[in-house]
Amino acid sequence: MAELTRIADAADIKPGSGATVDAGGKSLAVFNIEGTYHVIDNECVHRGGPLGEGDLDGTVVMCPWHNWTYDVTTGRCINNPSACVKSYPVTVEGTDIKVQL
């Protein structure tokens, strides 16, 4: 199994919200969907907007720059299904949110 990298404390990402973190030279967006954490690349494929700062509606985040939407569970772009951002496997150990980069 690949090495896991700690990216956040679970208490810092409230249910129904997202945050931006830097880990392993990457900018990541972390989301809490009813206690389950999802991590995707933070950069929108359209113009590079910060997805971790977007509005979250269920499992869909809207880029704050130009309103492109992504499913945070898969990284799939809703506006353009041929586009996507990378999603990362997440593990929670105690209160640590960890990802496989």
Whether 1 shows a pLDDT value over 60: the answer reads no
pLDDT at site 90 = 97
- The amino acid at 22: D
Q: Which residues contact 2 (CB under 8 A, 6 or more apart)?
A: 100, 101
Whether 76 shows a pLDDT value over 70: the answer reads yes
Give per-residue pLDDT as tens, 41-72.
999 999 999 999 999 999 999 999 999 999 99
Q: Kindly list the structural domains of the chain, giving each domain's residue range(s) and its CATH number in brackets, ordered by start.
A: 4-100 (2.102.10.10)
pTM beyond 0.85: the answer is yes
What residue has token string 């830097």?
22
